[in-house]
Structure 1
Amino acid sequence: MPGTRNETRNDLLAAWLHDHKVQVGELTSLVNTEIGKLTGRCGTVHDRHIRKLLSGEHKSPNALLRTALERVTGQTATELGFIPRGSKKSSPAPTPEDDPLYRRALLAAASAAGVSLATPPLGGNRPRRLNSNDVEALKAELVAWTTSESTYGGTPELEKRAEDITDKVVRLQQENSASTRIRSELYTVAAAFSNSAMWAAIDGQRFESAEYHLDRTIRLAGLSGDPATEFRVWGHASILFRHVNRPTDALAAAERAQASPIARRDPLFSSLAMSRLAISHAALGDDRSAVRYVDLAQKALDRADPNKYRPSWVSFYDQAELDHLAMVARMHLRQWPDAERHAHRSLAYLRPDLKRNSALVHAHLAVAQLGQKDLEQAIGTAQSLPEGMMKHARVRRLLDGFTEQITTLAPHNPEARDWRARYRTVVA
């Protein structure tokens, strides 16, 4: 009948609010803060939006709101009682291939940023003068890409998508005119996408591809003239060089990031640079410098203003990530008890939505415990990892070494045999 409502109250979301003693207004504020981190602009969600989700009037929040809710609560959309768009009932999370999250997040982020997607498509046939709307549309797509990468990791599909958009932005520059400021911003966006492609390749352990992206990213970052972009490029270059066994180059890249103007101006960037310097020194066996940079990184982070506006990509760096990087440095030095201490601190501070980071820290923790000959606890830590995360390239690399070590240390131990059997089944 007209006027009849057929909504069913969202008891799962209501239960989360009740269990955590969070009011609707507080949840609204937390969600808008997370949207700000994702898009660089404070969210515009109102209390009435949350109430409609609670009442069941809205069962499928858009990608940006859904992602923000997941980050605030630490629950998946399904666990919060939401239904994926286009579905009649709950279904498992889609893969990038059959449900590209970046596209849905693009639409939501563009809307939140006030960008009209009805404007002429980027790179159309007729030359035109590029403007800030073009830049904002691309930034929204970058936010969408980052959201998807945080969920799925550095898949080949996401690497290819970032590379394709880089090509599009470069072509856009060549085929149209723009002011000096807009051109610089477009180079910044192109460098960000190229850097994202490089990071996806690093995360997926596709290092030859990552080196190709690095060369291109350095050129684009130089053309942008943006200090934050150059900082990001050299930071990721340092990580890549460590993975391909070029520790001296890794140290030089980390020093280049630390010397950048943005690291001198903002203690948070300085802290991130010094955390990576600690790992580079540790990889070269310089324990004194490594420990000193860990301490300096902590002091710098303590000075950083948490409310300062920064590019959305640096939102990953917080106390949990500092302890994660300090843990890696300690493991290079085989300082197992200190590595374990940093691992536990990282897990205590880690945002619940960062499932991949949690898996990496747990894998490192298992290795650190094994380094102390605590076989039973190390295996227990490894067994706690979700099977899906065991297949992630970086996690699997750690677990491969871990499994070889326990085989050498305790070939006949029943727990070790159980772990090997399970691990072979999972990664086969």
Structure 2
Amino acid sequence: MDATRNTVLEAWMAEHGHSSNSLADAVNGALGRLTGRTGGLDGSSIRSWKAGRVKWPKSATRKALEDVTGLPAVALGFVPRGRTSLTPPPQEGPDMKRRTLFGGIAAAAAAAAAPGTSPRRIGMSDVDRLRTRFAEVIASDHRHGGQLGIEQRAATLANEALNLQNAGSATQRVRSSLYACAASFRSSAMWAAIDGRRYDDAKGHMREAQGLAEMSGDQAIKFRIWSHTGTMYRHMGRPSDALAANDVARNLHITRRDPLFACLGHARQAATYGLTGDTAAVQRALGCAQDALERADPALARPVWMAAVSDGAELETLALAAHLRLGNFEQAETHAHQSLTLLRPQMRRDRAINITRLAAAQLGQGDIELAVATAVKVPSDIAAQHARVTRMLQEFGAALPATAAGSPAVRTWAEHAAAWRTTA
């Protein structure tokens, strides 16, 4: 029985301080929010998961567990019905697991190249291992965002996915999937660089990602890369380039097959129109995004990075960004509150950004004390270490004296900002 234990789930629970009973309670609560009826899991249910007696929980339970953890079920060690077991992961910590994966891939490549040996067969189990690592990169991005370590790890994994192409024989489906994995990792490296305001590095990752995506033929990852490209140019203050890149994403076939991708495309276009000051275009794009969200099938399987789009959080976030740029501070505040309600707890980076935007919207309405009270809620570690949040808070602090010269709130903010800067 020990050979079938779900050691990945056990490791996740240990890392996040969950007992069997506390995880059962968390999943039951998530089930209640999903279905309107609290789940009936208890500690023995979770122990059955850990022991491997339950390899693939029921669909609603899986979705609730994914909401709690921020990871897909396969990344937590569960195996879909009708599939053979995934390769058992090592029981060491995350860094050791990554080293083991890389070592295994390198060994496979060496074995394939060694004279007198039969070439290894590369299969979907290898792709599944890479997809598990991709889910981990996404989870790290949600928690921390923009960090150089995330960028470097994603770029390394992209290279490892490419190394597998030469490590043995494979079907065309497997080879296309490996290119898609490499493009996915490279797109995450690109996003981390954008989020950290390392734009030259982001452009290099972008070019790599675009080429890999073309070789994969994967429409979803093509959309992600071009959509990220639009976001990069928007952050760089180049709205014409941003609109052009967004148009490439929005014209991909996947936006017609799945309205949720159309929703994200329209919402990101709205945020760019906010940069141009075109109020009518912003309203039109947001209306199209909302319509697409309402038409999207919530049960459709999608990439892990689309989670915030499916629950509406990303649409509210981008509507907030657009209205804040237009100076529609009251509307921006409304969207800020809605986004903070919808964002999942593990999305710490997005929450910090939207708290900062909420403070800016309140300051724009002259609510000085409230704005400062909001801004100080940004966690100090993110305020000090996330380049985009740091800059936004600096802009907030610079705007305060012009709005409220002599106000005690200005001194309060100055003291608070000095404290978090010491942790940088």
How far off is 1:299 after superposition? 1.3
In 2, distance between residues paired with 1:107 and 1:372?
A: 46
Q: Is the 8 A contact 2:122 2:170 kept in 1?
A: yes
| 2:225 matched residue in structure 1 | 233
Call closer, same or farther: CA 1:272–1:400 in 2, change over 3 Å. Answer: same
Distance 1:52 1:111 in 2: 12
1:67-106 to structure 2, matched below 5 A, reads 71-72=67-68
What is residue 314 of structure 2 aligned with on the other side?
321
Aligned position for 1:40: none
1:201 maps to amino acid = A
Work out whether residues 278 and 294 of structure 1, in 8 Å CA contact, stay in contact via their aligned partners in 2.
Answer: yes
1:184 aligns with 2:167: no
What does 1:208-219 correspond to in 2, within 5 Å? Answer: 208-219=200-211
The equivalent residue for 2:46 is: 50
Distance of aligned partners of 1:23 and 1:361 in 2 relative to their CA distance in 1, 3 Å threshold: closer
What corresponds to 1:221 in structure 2?
A: 213
User: Who is 1:424 aligned against?
Assistant: 418
The residue number in structure 2 matching 1:249 is 241
The aligned residue for residue 388 of structure 1 is 381
**What pairs up with 1:5-154 in 2 under 5 angstroms?**
26=28, 48-50=44-46, 71-72=67-68, 109=76, 112=79, 114-117=85-88, 121-123=104-106, 124=108, 125-127=110-112, 128-154=120-146
**Paired residue for 1:310?**
302
Shift of 1:48: 2.4
Which runs of no fewer than 5 residues in structure 2 stay unpaired? 1-16, 36-40, 50-60, 90-100, 113-119
Cα pair distance change 1:310/1:401, threshold 3 Å: same
Q: Distance between the aligned counterparts of 1:11 and 1:133, measured in 2? A: 29
Tell me if structure 1 keeps the 8 A contact 2:20–2:42: no
- Corresponding residue number in structure 1 for 2:367: 374
For the residues of structure 2 that align with 1:70 and 1:416, how far apart are their CA atoms? Answer: 42
Distance 2:167 2:66 in 1: 40
CA contact (8 A) 1:110 1:116 kept: no
Q: 1:361 aligns with which of 346, 354, 364?
A: 354
The one-letter code of the counterpart of 2:146 is G
Under a length normalisation based on structure 2, what TM-score does the superposition of the two structures give? Answer: 0.77
1:3: which partner in 2?
A: none
Query: Equivalents in 1 of 2:419, 2:121: separation in Å?
Result: 56
Give RMSD over aligned pairs. Answer: 3.4
The answer on whether the counterparts of 1:110 and 1:137 sit within 8 Å (CA) in structure 2 is no
- Equivalent-residue separation in structure 2 for 1:247 and 1:148 (angstroms): 29
Q: Which letter does structure 1 place at the counterpart of 2:207?
A: D
Letter in 2 for 1:115: L
Q: Any idea what the Cα deviations from partners look like across 1:152-194, whole Å, max 9, x if unmatched?
A: 2232112111111111222221343322111111000000000
Tell me, yes or no, if the aligned pair for 1:263 and 1:269 is still in contact at 8 Å: yes
User: Deviations for 1:244-272, whole angstroms, at most 9, x for unmatched residues?
Assistant: 22211110111111111111111111101
CA contact (8 A) 1:31 1:72 kept: no
Contact 1:71 1:352 in 2 (8 A): no
Query: Do the aligned residues in 2 keep the contact of 1:135 with 1:182 (CA within 8 Å)?
Result: yes
- Cα deviation for residue 418 of structure 1 reads 1.4
**1:292 shift after superposition:** 0.6
Corresponding residue number in structure 1 for 2:117? none
Encode CA deviations 1:60-105: one digit per residue, 9 max, x unaligned: xxxxx9x98695399xxxxxxxxxxxxxxxxxxxxxxxxxxx9xx9
| CA pair 260-405 structure 1, distance change in 2 beyond 3 A | same
1:333 corresponding residue in structure 2:
326
The 1:111/1:266 distance shift into structure 2, 3 A limit, reads closer
**Secondary structure of the equivalent of 1:213?**
helix
Residue equivalent to 1:95: none
TM score, norm. by length of structure 1: 0.76
Q: State how 1:278-297 maps to structure 2 within 5 Å.
A: 278-297=270-289
More helix by share: 2
In 2, Cα distance between equivalents of 1:305 and 1:107: 22
